[in-house]
Amino acid sequence: MRTGSRHVVPCAMLVGMLAFGAALAGFAPGARASSRETPPRTTVPARRNDPLAERRRTEIRERRAAGDIGWLFLGDSITQRWDPEIWRQSFDGLNAANFGVDGDRTQHLLWRITRGGELDGLSPHTVVVLIGVNNIATDPPSHIAAGIGKIVDVVHEKLPSARILLFAIFPAGFAPGPFRERIRNTNDLVADIARRPYVQHLNIGERFLDAEGRIPRALMPDALHPSPAGYRVWADALGEHMRESRKHEERQKNGEPIP
Find the CATH number of the domain harbouring 228.
3.40.50.1110
Listing DSSP states for 124-143 in one string gives -SEEEEE--GGGTTTS-HHH
Give the pLDDT score at 244. 65
Answer whether residue 249 is part of any domain: yes
Give the pLDDT score at 233. 97
Q: Do 16 and 51 belong to one domain?
A: no
Answer whether residue 210 is part of any domain: yes
Q: Do 124 and 9 belong to one domain?
A: no
Give the pLDDT score at 205. 97
Question: 3-class DSSP state for residue 176?
Answer: coil
Q: Which domain holds residue 28?
A: 2-34
Report which residue type is found at 222. D
Q: Do 160 and 225 belong to one domain?
A: yes
Instruction: Give the whole-angstrom CA distance, residue 98 versus residue 81.
Output: 9
Q: Do 121 and 175 belong to one domain?
A: yes
Answer whether residue 258 is part of any domain: no
Q: Do 17 and 105 belong to one domain?
A: no
Residue numbers of the chain with a pLDDT score lower than 70: 1-35, 243-259
For the chain, the domain total comes to 2
Give the pLDDT score at 37. 84
Instruction: Give the whole-angstrom CA distance, residue 94 versus residue 248.
Output: 13
Query: Which residues are marked as active site?
Result: 77, 222, 225
Q: Do 19 and 52 belong to one domain?
A: no
CB-based contact 133:169 (threshold 8 Å):
yes
Q: Look up the pTM and report it.
A: 0.82
Give the pLDDT score at 4. 45
Q: Do 7 and 57 belong to one domain?
A: no
